[in-house]
């Protein structure tokens, strides 16, 4: 197995210290609102995120950051980093991507250092969105976009399936069935977006955005988003 593949397995492992276990990306409110009563509704919700929601948007941002970092265009990296935080649809979405990005940078700079990570902190400031941090690290380690993108998207969706299990939307076995069923959609989206640009940004998963806003005032919560 190539070093690049091992790095991706490490970075998107549940044990990598980015704190992803603390976030449900609005699923907690969606469950309480009755939007997610079973595995089928969860699969449809996650498919929307892949095809027209934040999974897609984060993938496009990551591709743009990878391209800029690979070209050594650090002013463009800084601009993309700023855009990534500005795109957050709610306070909790911003916190989710920012805290995971900062934690990823801290862990990766310590365990898998490359000069690009130091450069990113220099140009982007103290807070970096998660897809930007991952993309710049991948560029620094010469990990191809074609390898990075499906791994990143699968990691995103797998974390949401894990949150769904803990919320009781599905059990562990059904959670894995949902994830397996979404793999073709992830593969298609990754292949489509590998050469995307910021001009391709655009999302219409409105119910997910509303869920992230409603979660901020939810009375009883397990998750931070």
Is 23 a domain residue? no
Instruction: Note whether residue 224 is domain-resident.
Output: no
pLDDT tens per residue, range 66-91? 999 999 999 999 999 999 999 999 99
Query: With contact defined as beta carbons under 8 Å apart, do 24 and 222 qualify?
Result: yes
Write out the residue range of the structural domain in which residue 163 sits: 37-211
Per residue in 115-173, pLDDT tens? 999 999 999 999 999 999 999 999 999 999 999 999 999 999 999 999 999 999 999 99
Is 3 inside any structural domain?
no
Domain membership of residue 16 (yes or no) is no
Cβ atoms of 179 and 49 closer than 8 Å: no
Q: How many domains does the chain have?
A: 1
What CATH number is attached to the domain comprising 181? 1.10.4190.10
Pure H helices in the chain: 3-11, 27-32, 39-52, 54-71, 74-86, 91-111, 115-124, 130-140, 145-167, 172-193, 206-215
Q: Is residue 118 part of a domain?
A: yes
State the pTM of this model: 0.97
Residue 111 clears pLDDT 90, i.e. is over it: yes
Q: Is the pLDDT of residue 1 over 80?
A: no
Residue 210's Cβ-count burial label (10 Å; 0-12, 13-18, 19+) is: middle
168 located within any domain? yes
Q: Evaluate whether residue 217 is within a structural domain.
A: no
Kindly state whether residue 20 falls inside one of the protein's structural domains: no
Dihedral of the alpha carbons of 68, 73, 76, 81, in degrees to the nearest 10 = 60
């Amino acid at each position: 197995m190539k070093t690049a593949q091992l790095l991706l397995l490490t970075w998107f492992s549940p044990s990598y210290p980015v704190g992803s276990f603390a976030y449900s990306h609005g699923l907690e409110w969606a469950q309480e609102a009755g939007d997610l009563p079973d595995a089928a509704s969860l699969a449809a919700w996650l498919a929307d995120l892949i095809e027209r929601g934040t999974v897609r948007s984060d993938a496009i941002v990551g591709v743009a950051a990878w391209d800029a970092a690979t070209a050594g265009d650090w002013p463009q990296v800084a601009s993309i980093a700023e855009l990534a935080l500005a795109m957050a649809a709610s306070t909790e979405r911003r916190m989710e991507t920012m805290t995971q990005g900062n934690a990823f940078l801290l862990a990766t700079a310590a365990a898998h250092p490359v000069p690009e990570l130091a450069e990113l902190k220099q140009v982007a400031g103290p807070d970096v969105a998660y897809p930007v941090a991952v993309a710049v690290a991948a560029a620094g380690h010469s990990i191809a976009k074609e390898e990075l993108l499906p791994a990143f998207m699968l990691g995103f969706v797998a974390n949401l399936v894990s949150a769904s299990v803990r919320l009781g939307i599905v059990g562990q076995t059904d959670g894995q069935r949902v994830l397996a069923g979404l793999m073709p959609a992830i593969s298609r989206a990754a292949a489509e977006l590998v050469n995307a640009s910021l001009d391709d940004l655009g999302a219409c998963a409105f119910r997910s955005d509303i869920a992230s806003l409603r979660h901020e005032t939810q009375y009883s919560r397990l998750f931070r988003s």
